[in-house]
Structures are given as structure tokens and as C-alpha cells.
Structure 1
Amino acid sequence: MSSHLSSTDSRAPHTTTALRRSLKRLDITALAIAAVISFDTVGQIATGGGEAATWTAALALFFLVPYALLFAETGAAFPQEGGPYVWVKLTLGRSAAALTTLLYWVTNPIWLGGSLVFLAAETWDGFVFHLGSGTFADYTFKLLFVWTAILTAVVSLSRGKWITTLGAAVKVLTLAVFTLTALLYGLEHGFHGLTDAHFAPTTAGFLALVPILLFAYVGFEAPNAAGEEMHDPQRDVPAALGRSASVAACCYLLPVLALLAVVPAHQVTGIGGFMEGARLVFGIYGPAAGPLLTLTAVMFVLALLTQGSAWMIVSDRMQAMAAADGGSFTRRLGAFHPRLGTPVRTNLLSGAVATVFMIVAMRVAEGDAGAVFAVVLTVAVTTLLLSYLVIVPALVLLRLRRPEVVRPYRVPFGNRGFMTCAVLVYAWILVGSWCALFPGTLEALLGIEYAFDDIWGMSRAAFEAFTLGTVAVLLLVGAVGLAIARREGPDAPMHGDEPSH
């Protein structure tokens, strides 16, 4: 068997005929950075106080490194379009791959229509132009944000990659400027935030932070969803993943440290922590502080927008491949536009899901943006982490069952090194998934006080109804998708978007 799997093994017929190879190493790196570095989680992580920095560094070493090694090897060895969908399909079958892809994909419109758009609106309202809460301006801004992100995923990847590259550059630049400014502010006024920051790790802090930290660090395999649009994935994927993972670790740890150094931990809020910190430290620029803060807010919102775009670009391709392969819903959903080379129907579906979730979340929250932010982010964490409970075993099975496939990059120490990394990553994902779905339960088991209503702003019953209800609905939708795909049959035409032959 050759190092490249046959088309019947890896993709559906006629699915990717419109694809063009447009991603080079820098593009892959930028796409990963744009997708993975999450502005919305910087403030959320910092709410954990000094030990947040400790756990951020610990997970970078004991989760991010083995995670990067696993996906660097697999992504280079199996660079087919669809990425994780193909990996799970080759080992566990089409149905398992379709359900896993649904959980992976739906995270992103939920996240776009919830966490990202709420944080963007809160930032715009507080630093650029007043929107109000639940007003016409508020709804208009959020709808424009969602659909701009979707439309940037609709354009051809040869053009769309420049949007994500710009987003990656803006994101790294904004975080670097904030970190440097915080350092200058601390040198001038003192690092008062450090006086009540406790860096010693605790079990309670670990259980509170692990889901959000895992969510912050996962996703570097995402560009593999566009594997057949890369010029040289077998060489570029490992290098790009290593670079983007290193940048991400610094872009989380350094701003969190800077934020905690100048803002007392009890004053850091998840939804406004970063920009409120910026408001404080930019005071050293005197009269220029106001315009600089407004510019930073605009860059902040742009970075959030391109982050949503990056995830739509990659996750929509995964879902489209699942549909085109006859694994989920109708094959028409998986058609790639002949000129744009993008899964336009899946893109539009993502926009619809994001819009519905945004409206429902606003109604449920009754204007309380903070409560929506926390719960929506938890739902997104849960669905994404649940998908890795299947993806990681698929990587192990590919290593064991397909030793003949050429692997341009290999995890150090052979099978033993690979399995050690897989066990570490899977253990982290298990703990993170449980903490996200059932917060406070491990604390109760360990005798740690956990004031659920105060932390989440709602009762446990309401929280579990929202999170578990969402997961249950997704599984039901996945089952319906499998039934539709089976009834349609594997040879049904896609119609409409693929070019004629």
C-alpha cells in the first residue's frame, strides 16, 4: 500500500474536484494561530488568579506538547481532506466518524453565536460605540458579526487565507502590545496585582481551570480539514503545528501573567478582563490613551471575527466531507462550489445555527451577558472535548493498524512514545469533559466547597438542563443525520455545486 490512501479509502467521489492547493507552511501556521488563540479565554483563564498562570504553564508542558506530537505525526501521514473525519472513519467506521464530526463542527457555530459574538458586542459597546443590551443596534451588530465570519469562510481559500493570516497577525500584535504595556505600567506604578495573586496550584483551581485551558489549547489539527488544499502537507504540517503551538503557549501565558500583575485577581472578569486590563495600563500613554484603547478594541473585535472565520473554514470542511461521503445527512450538503472551492451549503448552515443560538442565548440570559458567556463557553468546551474522546483513540488505531503508511514525522521513542502521549492527552480530555459537563461533582467528592449558584449565576438544575440538553439534542440530530444518509444511499448525487465532467 502506498503512503497515500486511495480516493475510495479517504474521500467521497466527486467531492473535492473543485479544490485548489493554496496553503503553504506560513498559511497553515497562521490558520492554526487564528483558530486556536482565543481572546475570549484569556480573561476567563485569568479569573483563576495566580494559579491560572501555573496551570497554564503545566498544561502547556504536559498536555500541549504530547498533543502536538500526536497530531503532527498523524496529520502528516494522513493528509486527506476532512482531517479528523477521515481518521475516525478509517478506524471506527463512517457512523462513528459522522457523529464525532458533528460534535466537532457544531462547537463552532455555537461558539460563534455565543461566546465570540457576545464578547465582541460587549467590547464594541464599552470601547467603540454604545450598543445597549437587547436593542436594535445590539442585534444588528451581532448579526453582522456572525454573517461576516460566515461569508469570509465562503470565499475561496486562496483569498480567505489572507483574512485568517491578517487575524493571526492582529491577534499576536495585540497581545504583544498589551503585555509590553502592562510591563511598562508595572515598572511605573508597581505590580499591585501580584500582592494577592497566589501561584501555588490547588486542586480546586485545577478542577475549575482544566476545561477552559484544554479548550484553549486544542485545535491545532484543524488545518488538516483542508489537507488536500495544502501544497506539501507531509512536510508542512509538523513544522506549522510546532510553530503555532509554541506561539499559542506564549500568547496565553504571557498576557495572563501581565493581566494578573496589574489587575487584582478579584477584579478580573471573564467577559471584560482583557479590555479592562488594557484600559488600566494604557493610562501610561497620557492623552493618546483613549484613541489607542479604541484602536485596540477594534483590533480585538477583528481578531475575534477572524477567529470565528478560521474555525468555520476548517470545521465546515469536516462536516461537508462527512455529508459528501454519505455518512451524515444528505450528500448535497457536502458539495463544494466549483469556482470558490468551498462547502457553501455547510457554511450557510453554520450561519443559521449560529444565528439561532445567538437569539436563544440572548433570550435565555435576559440581557445578562456574563451568565450567557460562561454557560455558552461551557457548552462549546463540552462538545469539542467530547469529540476528542473518539479522535484520540482513532490516532492510536491508525498507528497500530496501518504501520505501512509512510510517516514523514514520528513521535520520539516509537510506539512507546506515541502511546504515552496518547494516554496523557486522553486522561486530560476525560477530566476536562467531566468537569465541563458536571462542574462541582469532583469537588464534592474531594470535600472542596463549591458554591454552584454563585459561580454560574443559576441553579445546577438549570445549568445541567442547558448543557446536557444541548448534548442530547446534538446526539439526536446526529442520529437523524445517520438515518437520512442511510436512506439516501452512498451513491446519491450531490447536485448543483460540483463541476460537470
Structure 2
Amino acid sequence: MSVPAPVPHLKRSLRRFDIMAIGIAAVISFDVIGQIAAGGGQAVTWIGVIVVAFLLPYALIFAETGAAFPQEGGPYVWVEVAFGRLPAALTTMFYWVTNPVWLGGSLVFLAAQAWDGFVFPLGTGTVADYAFKLVFIWIAILTAVISLRRGKWITTAGAGAKVLALAFFTATAVAYGLQHGFRGLEAAGFAPTAAGFLALVPVLLFAFVGFEAPNAAGDEMLDPRRDVPVAIAVSASVATCCYLLPVLAILSAAPAGRVTGVGGFMEAARLVFGIYGSWRGPLLSCVAVLFALSLLTQGSAWMIVADRMQAMAAADGGFFTRALGAFHPRLGTPVRMNLLSGVTATLFMAASMNLAHGDASAIFGVVLTVAITTLLLSYIAVIPALLALRLRHPAVPRPYHVPFGTRGFTVAALLVYAWILLGCWVALFPGTLERLVGFHYDFRATWGVSRLTFEAFTLGTVAVLLAIAAAGYLVQRWRAPSADSRTP
């Protein structure tokens, strides 16, 4: 077995707490909480199903693999060792680009809407609106550029702000319910339906993937073999609570039909914070600032890990030029890849501003779906790679083992893979399975845009990314056909 060459200039600074904080900052997502709550009471039911049938086996297989293969680059290395450089390059492209697309799409739009509504008016499509979004994107990028031993504290602060905001909101919603009654829960309807399941499955899977992301900085961890399994277990447990409790709180307070994906969390906060009387406005402003900070540090956490993956792909000869894989000798970060992510996020933000003529709700839904699609597609190769590593390299020391050995690992991997395939199909072709089982599906009423616009944006993005990834790999093969950066 050979792996990509180790990166010079890296310093080990990530302790167990840091790994957990990066996982929490990256995975717990405010932009999907409202989207999940919009599914009504059955969203809570399906969260429970996903946690047991998807998150648990997912955490098990990534905990074992992350501890056994802790090299810098994480999932890129796993796929490269299992299947070769081309599949790894294609996979990493989808994994990486999800994050500038997400940062320049739903994260920045949600932050701008919260700032506009609760802190300072920005308007839509104004100079102030564009300025806010540009500053938001580039602060997230610069956070990833600085050295990890300093940048980790920014993502840790973001994780703390996120948990604090969610805990304060949930406690306030409980107080509101005690004062006014939990009428929302009585009418929520927790009985699961097939239509509700198909609508929620992509966003729920998106909400619960990514706990392996800190492994992209594997060579910067102090003791990954011991810390990775524990960090995944703790961050996955925290994420479950941080999705389940706020969704229940939103449903208990917000009237039926009032919850929307783009404004669900802050609109519910506006309602329940009424119990604070004259303090309502200042407290809402404080929560909105925490909300925006959490979104910003979520974007920067993903930039920290995903840019390292893509930089390793470039350094290994899988993406245009090895220069993009260079790590700064003093900072120890892939600065050129960070800047490329910033440019990509900025371009995607500008394109999203023109989608649906500025309809924020339509923009949010479609752009979030693009991010969901690209991230889930990356796991189509990652999950089989984990199983291949388990079967082909049994001699590699594994500090943590999935229960029941190879059989348990295989069953868990196949179960996770089935969920990923279902999520990819529903995200790429919404409404097709509903019609197959006889449900009516009004596409424009659901998405705010026509199917042609939606598919052009989603499938077009996927096609362009495949073309760019393939071109990057071929250019490197043409420029240096005999180069090989791997070491035994």
C-alpha cells in the first residue's frame, strides 16, 4: 500500500477537543434546521429513523477508517488507495466544491437575511447586500488561510456560538410553550408518510454527513488513532440534539404553514422571544449576530478541511497543477486552494443573485439542493472505498473496530450506501419517485422555479464539475506523465 507523499511545513496542533469542535462547527447547519422543520411533525420522526438507520452505521465505519488511515487528505487518500487517482480526483472535486457553492449560496443568503431583518437593513440586490455577502465570504476564506493552530479557535468559537444560540432558543421556546401552551405540537402530525420521507431524505442526509471531515487534517492531529473515534461519537451525539430539539421547539411555537426553509429559525425566534417584552428586539439582534457568526464559521470550518483535500489531490497529480497543492511554509495552509475557493464562492453568489430574479426563498431552496447533491455524490465512491480498505488491507492497525468485525463493517457500509444512493436520486430528480408511487407533485409550487430551471442549475452544475475534474486530471497527466509523488 502506498499513500500520497507527506506534506512539509505541517505542525500537529489538533487535540481531541479541537477535532470535536471542527466537526460540530462543520456539520450542525442552521440553514437546514428551518428546511427540516418545514416538513412538519413527521420531520422529528424521520430524524429518529435517520439517526438509527444511517447516522449510527455511518459513524461506526468512519470512526474505524479515520483511526486506521489518518493521513492528510482524509477521504481523498482513502479513495486513491482503494481505487486509484482518477476516481479520487473526481470524488474530491465534488466534496471540495460543495463548500464554496454552499458558502456562496445558502449560507451567505441566510446570514444576509438574518442581518437584514434583525440587525441592520441591507435590502435585496443593493450595494449593501452585495457588500455584506462579499465580506462574509472572504472572512470565511481568510479564516481558513491563517495557521490551523490559530484558525481552530475561530471554528471553536463558532461551534460554541452555534450551540449557545440553539440552547437559548430551545429554552425560550419551552418557556413560551409553558406560557401559551404547546399548540403547535398538537397539530404537527408526527405520523410518517412516504411523501414526507421523500421530501426530507436528502436534507436529513446532508445534515448528518461530514463527521469525517476533520480527517482531512490528519497529519495535523496529535493522536488521531485514539481521538478520531471519540470525536466522531461525541460530535454526532451533539449534532443529533442540536437538530432534534430546535426542530421540536420551532414546531411547538410556529403555527402550521408558517415555517419556511429560508426563515424558519429566525422567524420562530421572533415569535417566542415575545416573552421577553421590551428586551425582545435587542435579544433578537444578539441571536441574529450569533446566527451569522455560526454560519460564517461553518463555512470556514469546511474550507479548512475541504481545501486540504483538494490541495492533496492537486499535489498528488490529480488537479491541473501541483502548484495548487502547495502548503504555505509558515502558515501550513493551502493558500492557493483557499483563494480558489473564495473566487468560486464569489462567482456562485453572483450567479445565485440572478436566479429566479432575486426570489430569496427560491434561491435558497435550489442552491441548498445543489450543495446537497454535490456532497452526497462524493460519497458514491467514498463509502465503497472504506469497504475496500477493510477487505484489502486487514493488516493495517485499527485502534477501533466496528462491532462484529468484517461482517458488521460490510452491513453498515451497504446500509449507508443505500441511503446515499436514495438521497442522490431524490436531490437530482425531485418528484420522480413521488409520481412513481402515485403522489401528486407540483414542482413550481414546491421549488418556486420551473423544472427546466431547476435541472439546468443542478444537472448543469454536476456536468460542469465532472468536466472540470476530468480536465484537471488529464492536464496533469499530459504535463507530467511520469511524475509520481507517492511514497511507500
Please state if 1:358 is matched with 2:349.
Answer: yes
**Which residue is equivalent to 1:223?**
214
Q: Distance in 2 between matches of 1:265 and 1:397?
A: 47
Shift of 1:458: 1.4
**Which residue is equivalent to 1:336?**
327
Corresponding residue to 1:11 among 4, 9, 14: 4
Q: Distance in 2 between matches of 1:245 and 1:230?
A: 19
Q: Distance in 2 between matches of 1:291 and 1:111?
A: 29
- Code of the residue aligned with 1:282 in structure 2: it is F
- Code of the residue aligned with 1:448 in structure 2: it is F
**Which residue is equivalent to 2:145?**
154
SS in 2 for 1:266: coil
- The CA deviation string for residues 17-57 of structure 1, in whole angstroms up to 9 with x for no partner, is 11000000000000000000000000000000000111011
Corresponding residue to 1:429 among 402, 411, 420: 420
Shift of 1:488: 2.1
SS in 1 for 2:390: helix
Corresponding residue to 2:236 among 228, 245, 249: 245
Q: Distance in 1 between matches of 2:62 and 2:484?
A: 33
Taking the TM superposition and a 5 Å limit, the aligned residue runs for 1:113-152 are 113-152=104-143
SS in 2 for 1:199: coil
Q: Distance in 2 between matches of 1:427 and 1:196?
A: 33
**Which residue is equivalent to 1:107?**
98
SS in 2 for 1:19: coil
TM-score, structure 1 as length reference: 0.96
Q: Distance in 2 between matches of 1:280 and 1:57?
A: 26
Taking the TM superposition and a 5 Å limit, the aligned residue runs for 1:53-452 are 53-452=44-443
- Code of the residue aligned with 2:341 in structure 1: it is S
| Segment of structure 1 superposing worse, 162-171 or 358-367 | 358-367
Shift of 1:328: 1.6
Conserved? CA contact 1:109–1:354, under 8 Å:
yes
Conserved? CA contact 2:31–2:261, under 8 Å:
yes
Shift of 1:240: 0.4
**Which residue is equivalent to 2:451?**
460
- Code of the residue aligned with 2:262 in structure 1: it is I
Q: Distance in 2 between matches of 1:297 and 1:291?
A: 10
- The CA deviation string for residues 205-249 of structure 1, in whole angstroms up to 9 with x for no partner, is 000000000000000000000000000000000000000000000
Conserved? CA contact 1:193–1:265, under 8 Å:
yes
Shift of 1:288: 1.2
Conserved? CA contact 1:19–1:229, under 8 Å:
yes
- Code of the residue aligned with 2:45 in structure 1: it is T
SS in 2 for 1:117: helix
SS in 2 for 1:133: coil
Shift of 1:128: 0.3
Q: Distance in 1 between matches of 2:473 and 2:126?
A: 40
Q: Distance in 1 between matches of 2:378 and 2:389?
A: 17
- The CA deviation string for residues 115-142 of structure 1, in whole angstroms up to 9 with x for no partner, is 0000000000000000000000000000
Conserved? CA contact 1:47–1:265, under 8 Å:
no
User: Unpaired segments of 5 or more residues in structure 1?
Assistant: 495-501
Shift of 1:265: 3.1
- Code of the residue aligned with 1:245 in structure 2: it is A
Conserved? CA contact 1:48–1:265, under 8 Å:
no
Q: Distance in 2 between matches of 1:211 and 1:371?
A: 17
Give the number of aligned pairs. Answer: 485
Q: Distance in 2 between matches of 1:144 and 1:353?
A: 14
RMSD of Structure 2 on Structure 1 (CA): 1.2
- 1:335–1:490 CA distance, 2 compared to 1 (3 A): farther
- Code of the residue aligned with 2:464 in structure 1: it is V
SS in 2 for 1:404: coil
Q: Distance in 1 between matches of 2:192 and 2:407?
A: 30
- Code of the residue aligned with 1:344 in structure 2: it is V
Q: Distance in 1 between matches of 2:368 and 2:482?
A: 38
Q: Distance in 1 between matches of 2:133 and 2:15?
A: 33
TM-score, structure 2 as length reference: 0.98
